[in-house]
């Protein structure tokens, strides 16, 4: 804007925040068209002191000088821009360049399939290992109804003693000495257990002799054996097998009753109990046939219950004595 136009416009009263200068397009006569100014005022415009015309003219002239000069718009076609030689040759070079070889994946060794040779080589080893495991010695399961040897060791406070010399025990028996003398020769727990068995047995017999209670052989011995005979008769065995089994049960009944009939004393019942315990090795390995072991257990349990019922004060003493017999069986067994 020239100085004459600035004087015609006069001093601006307000300075607005948004002023846009529009450059007019050139006319046919080459003169500039009258410039128009669009002023948009904000909602709130601050009033400032008016500037001098000279300052306004200099500001506008500086703005026009800084504005870029636009080229004339013509209808001439756009010039074709040739790419540099190196760029133009790039597509052919790319087309001719060999594709990069893919990175080979790491080779994984396949899992070898088992062959007949490897199977045959492995089976004997497995069979040998299985036989070795089967050959490992296993201690037989003890029937605790005839006594608990571990409890005897604890109750009698002999757990901190050595077991005793088993070879000396066997040598004493071979020399014809009694079981008590052989136990003393062995020493250790064997000697102590034998002493306590003698002590407890004497005390228990004194209590049982003083009792007037009776034990019924019909209930304790005859009844379980008669029930076993009925089961054999009603079973699937042949007649000859049934007769043999019934005869064996008759022999067991005669042996257990020891010639007594009817009701017997507690002392007599205790002697039958001790005989059954010895035959059953006090719960350890015994030569008794497996099919008869449940009958011996039933007879032992019936007699023990009857004794403890007739003399309740002897139950604790009786239990400790049975446990000592079981411990003696463990210590004196063949090794």
State residue 48 phi and psi, 5-degree precision.
-125, 160
Mean pLDDT per 10-residue segment, the chain (335 residues): 64 53 48 44 44 52 50 47 46 46 50 47 42 44 89 93 92 92 93 95 94 95 93 89 91 92 95 95 89 93 95 93 94 73
* Residues in contact with 333: Cβ distance below 8 Å, sequence separation at least 6, in sequence order: 284, 285
Q: What's the pLDDT at 141?
A: 77
State whether residue 20 is helix, strand or coil: strand
Q: What's the pLDDT at 333?
A: 80
User: What pTM does this model have?
Assistant: 0.58
Q: What's the pLDDT at 6?
A: 60
Lookup: tokens for 137 = 């010695």
Q: What's the pLDDT at 267?
A: 95
Q: Are 273 and 300 in contact (CB under 8 A)?
A: yes
Euclidean distance between CA atoms 259 and 262, whole angstroms: 10
């Amino acid at each position: 804007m020239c100085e004459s136009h600035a004087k015609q416009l006069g001093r601006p009263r307000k300075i607005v925040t948004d002023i846009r200068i529009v450059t007019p397009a050139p006319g046919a006569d080459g003169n500039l068209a009258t410039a128009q100014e669009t002023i948009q005022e904000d909602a709130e415009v601050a009033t400032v002191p008016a500037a001098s015309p000279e300052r306004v003219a200099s500001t506008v002239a500086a703005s026009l000088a800084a504005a870029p000069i636009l080229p004339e718009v013509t209808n001439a076609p756009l010039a074709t821009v040739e790419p540099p030689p190196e760029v133009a040759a790039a597509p052919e070079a790319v087309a001719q360049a060999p594709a990069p070889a893919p990175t080979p994946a790491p080779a994984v060794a396949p899992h070898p399939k088992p062959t007949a040779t490897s199977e045959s080589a492995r089976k004997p080893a497995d069979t040998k290992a299985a036989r070795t495991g089967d050959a490992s010695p296993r201690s037989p399961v003890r029937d605790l109804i005839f006594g608990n040897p571990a409890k005897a060791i604890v109750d009698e406070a002999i757990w901190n003693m050595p077991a005793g010399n088993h070879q000396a025990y066997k040598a004493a028996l071979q020399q014809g000495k009694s079981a008590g003398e052989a136990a003393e020769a062995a020493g250790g727990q064997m000697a102590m257990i034998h002493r306590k068995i003698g002590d407890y047995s004497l005390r228990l017999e004194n209590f049982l002799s003083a009792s007037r209670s009776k034990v019924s052989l019909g209930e304790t011995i005859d009844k379980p054996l008669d029930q076993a005979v009925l089961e054999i008769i009603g079973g699937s065995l042949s007649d000859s097998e049934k007769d043999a089994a019934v005869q064996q049960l008759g022999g067991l009944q005669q042996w257990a009753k020891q010639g007594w009939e009817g009701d017997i004393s507690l002392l007599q019942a205790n002697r039958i109990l001790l005989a059954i315990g010895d035959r059953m090795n006090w719960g350890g390995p015994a030569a008794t046939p497996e099919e008869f072991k449940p009958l011996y257990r039933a007879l032992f349990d019936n007699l023990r219950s009857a004794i403890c019922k007739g003399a309740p004060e002897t139950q604790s003493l009786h239990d400790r004595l049975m446990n000592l017999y079981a411990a003696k069986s463990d210590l004196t067994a063949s090794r």
